[in-house]
Amino acid sequence: MFVLLRHLQRTRREIALPARNRPGTLAVRHVDAGSCNGCEHELAATANPYYDLQRYGLNVVASPRHADVLLVTGQITTRMVDPLRRAYESMPEPRLVAALGDCAIACQGPGDPGQLAGPLEKILPVDLRIPGCPPTPQQIADALLHFMRERAEHPQ
């Protein structure tokens, strides 16, 4: 626990995002495209008081119309291909896509191969990959905060 806390504090210092007067925010629309819920569980933990990503301006939103990033978890089932494309098309520019977990990145997981559409990058352009099965909340927090810093430094 203390190792994690130290690591998170270091990440926060490196990112240098103050809790107030931060350079921007990141609105994330999450879509479960066919996961086992492991990735969702870890993603939800990043909103708890320990990681508290909202404090850094990272918010999960209910509609892709309000989102900067489409964050996808799970193996992409064939039924989810059209909803994912529609969600992406309805996002304002510049729109970004993140694949969270090995399932979304590489279509690795327990699903029935006959019902899978392949990795997310076959369907949408992927800007951020967060590997793991599932990735830990620490890894998710690191990746999203670094992504946020990159975006603030190099706006599209």
Interface residues with ligand SF4 (CB under 6 A) are 35-36, 38-39, 73-74, 101-103, 109, 133-134
In angstroms, give the least distance from the CB of 94 to ligand SF4.
Answer: 27
In angstroms, give the least distance from the CB of 98 to ligand SF4.
Answer: 13
Nearer to ligand SF4, 17 or 140 (CB): 140
Output the residue with the shortest Cβ distance to ligand SF4: 38
In angstroms, give the least distance from the CB of 12 to ligand SF4.
Answer: 26
CA 31 from chain center: how many Å?
A: 10
The answer to whether 51 and 84 are in contact (CB under 8 A) is no
Give, for 45, the enclosing helix (H) or strand (E): helix 38-45
At residue 129, the 3 state secondary structure works out as strand
Query: Would you state the structure tokens that stand for residue 34, as one six-digit string?
Result: 């066919």
